[in-house]
Amino acid sequence: DFIGATAINRMARFYLDPRDNRTPADYYELIGDDNGVFGCMGLLACDNVCPKQLPLQDQLGIMRRMVSAESVRGILPEFLRKKLQGCGCGQSHA
């Protein structure tokens, strides 16, 4: 179940706070799936119904970009290692 824009907004508050010691990997583990930042359909409904007029879509975008970058950071090195192992040039790319 989607945790909701308000919960993501609160997490963004901590992520943007320089005193927070969590890493992007920590946030990825918490909200980097369909129940987290990718569970929102992006229809801006949360902005329309928020009684406090909070910029929920802006915060959701910040967290989505951070989580996406973290997922690429985790996947890309392994992908490149596999590609370079079998490139056929005869050299070691380790």
Q: Distance between CA 49 and CA 15 in Å, rounded?
A: 24
Q: Is residue 35 in some structural domain?
A: yes
Q: Is residue 78 in some structural domain?
A: yes
Query: pLDDT digits over 43-90, tens only?
Result: 777 877 888 888 888 888 999 999 988 888 877 777 777 766 765 665
How many domains does one find in the chain? 1
Nearest to 40 by CA among 17, 16, 67, 70: 67
Query: pLDDT digits over 54-63, tens only?
Result: 888 888 899 9
Q: Is residue 93 in some structural domain?
A: no
Q: Distance between CA 91 and CA 89 in Å, rounded?
A: 6
Side-chain half-sphere exposure of 32, counting CA atoms within 13 A:
15
CA atoms 13, 19, 21, 24: torsion sign: positive
